[in-house]
Copies of this chain bind each other. A is one copy, B any other.
Amino acid sequence: MKEIYSTSPISGKTYSVPRDSKLDELNSFINSNKKRKIVAVQGLGFVGTAMSLVVANSDKDEYAVVGIDQSSEHSYWKIEDINNGICPISSSDPLISEYYKNAHMKGNFYATSEPKAFSYADVIIIDINLDVSKFKDKNGDIETFDVPLEGFKSAIKSIGNNCKEDVLILVETTVPPGTCKKIVYPILVESLKLRGLSIDKFKLGHSYERVMPGPNYINSIKNFYRVYSGIDDESADAVEMFLRTVISTDEYPLTRLKTTESTEMAKVLENSYRAMNISFAIEWSRFAENSGLNLYEVVDAIRLRPTHSNLMYPGIGVGGYCLTKDPLMASWASKEFFGLESGLQSSVKAVENNDKMPMFCFDFVSNILKSHDKETTSIGLLGVAYGPGIGDTRFSPVEDFYNRLSAHFDNIKCQDPFVPIWTELNLEIETCLETFLVNSFDILIVTTGHRDYLNNDFIYELIGRSSKEMIIIDTVGLLDLHKLPTHFYQNKNFYVLGVGHYEK
């Protein structure tokens, strides 16, 4: 059999994926945590890992957490990193590494690929991904989309084949409304029956996270409002009891909804709403650029109105795991599970619009380059993560933008303080801003609004050292014109998406 290797983008270490799953280690972890309840977290992604850290650091220290992920090239490094004292998340939130260190020191956080871990668990939290497949035409319009449930179903089966009969199973994964009752529950019942166990004792609930993997990563779980439900009252009660022990529910009261469909819907509705608000900004960006207005100024003026405070700025696009798929998931469920023939057209359209933002951004940049009559040989991109303050590059709009740029230009370099390796493109990324800006670029494009870039205004000093001919294009409205060296506006070398050429 061929050896499989898995490389950590955090530590850079490469691990050989073992054939056996180190059951001894798992057993010894369970034994050394006899005084704690066992919580299994299925899926060590951006949600599951952070949730594991929050549970392992609960106020009364009552839980030991076993994180479970696949022993694949893509995921195995997380298991090794976690067990070897390396925090598997790079984040601008210092609590992430603090929580990790604390759990590692206490010895109540262990990771494995062994499904047998479920058999020890009092609580199982499902944080695996559930993706949506989109099929687009050449204009970027969405032709069809689907929610392939096979992977999700086998993950549930793996729980059903191993769990205790009185376990509490808490689904945190964003799922099509209806999934807990129509997919998860029947699979669990069938598996438990086959094992000759009672099917009346397990509890099944749904409570979605509102993780923001930025500077308030941990607090977006621990100190934030939660909505929850259960398939019956006992399940809802059990979910509530558990959440009270890990989340600051006194300050952020829990909201119980009557059915799991309701909380499942709340999650996708919430994200669809956000996706639509972003989509709304797109065509107004074009309008502003066409009419020579500063859309940032206009949005700021409107935001003073409390009912309009969350109006969005223009930008390079929407990324991340949720907003790019949740509206589609909702529409899919409305058709497949509840027979709403039309689906949710506006919500689907919002995703389609948002997905086109990098294309508009590329056109914006192209037009600027055309208007400057000189050859472009080197381009620098500041930021590749999908949003400010995070190291998450999943579905980053910068990826589409980069691909479009690289079809026309050879010499493109990228910098991001939180992304040492851009896994999707298999690119090494410069994390040090100063080192990066020593390069001489014809065009410098700000592609992620990392606040870190603005620390102590160092970026303006660095930009001041570079070529006076350099053109700066800010696609996210990060830079302050008043702090840029004067020659940038004298030479008309500073542009902002949603504004056009930026004047004092």
- Which B residue sits closest to A255, measured CB to CB? B301
State which of A84-92, A278-286, A487-495 sits at the interface with chain B: A278-286
B270 touches A276 (CB 8 A): no
- Which B residue sits closest to A283, measured CB to CB? B344
A340 touches B294 (CB 8 A): no
A292 to B277, CA, bound (A): 26
A304 touches B265 (CB 8 A): no
Residues A257 and B297 in contact in the complex (CB < 8 Å), given A270-B305, A273-B308, A279-B346? yes
B291 touches A337 (CB 8 A): yes
- Residues of chain B with a CB closer than 8 A to A257's CB: 297-298, 301
- Residues of chain B with a CB closer than 8 A to A330's CB: 287
Instruction: Tell me which residues from 220 to 251 in chain A have a Cβ below 8 Å from any Cβ of chain B.
Output: 225, 227
B304 touches A255 (CB 8 A): yes
- Which B residue sits closest to A280, measured CB to CB? B276
B280 touches A334 (CB 8 A): no
Question: A486 at interface (Cβ–Cβ under 8 A)?
Answer: no
- Residues of chain B with a CB closer than 8 A to A227's CB: 301-302
By size class, the interface of chain A is 35 or more
B304 touches A347 (CB 8 A): no
A342 touches B283 (CB 8 A): yes
Question: A396 at interface (Cβ–Cβ under 8 A)?
Answer: no
| A242-270 Cβ-contact flags toward B at 8 Å (1 or 0) | 00000000000001011101110110011
Contact of A259 among B274, B293, B302, B345 (CB under 8 A): B293
- Residues of chain B with a CB closer than 8 A to A258's CB: 294, 297
Question: A135 at interface (Cβ–Cβ under 8 A)?
Answer: no
A292 to B263, CA, bound (A): 13
B255 touches A293 (CB 8 A): no
| A136-148 Cβ-contact flags toward B at 8 Å (1 or 0) | 0000000000000
B266 touches A302 (CB 8 A): yes
Chain B: minimal CB distance from A303 (Å): 10
A262 touches B345 (CB 8 A): no
| A319-344 Cβ-contact flags toward B at 8 Å (1 or 0) | 00000000000100010011110101
Beyond the given A273-B302, A307-B310, A310-B310, could you list 14 further A-B residue pairs with CB under 8 A, ordered by the A residue number? A178-B291, A255-B300, A262-B298, A263-B301, A266-B302, A270-B302, A270-B305, A273-B277, A273-B308, A276-B276, A282-B346, A290-B338, A290-B340, A346-B353
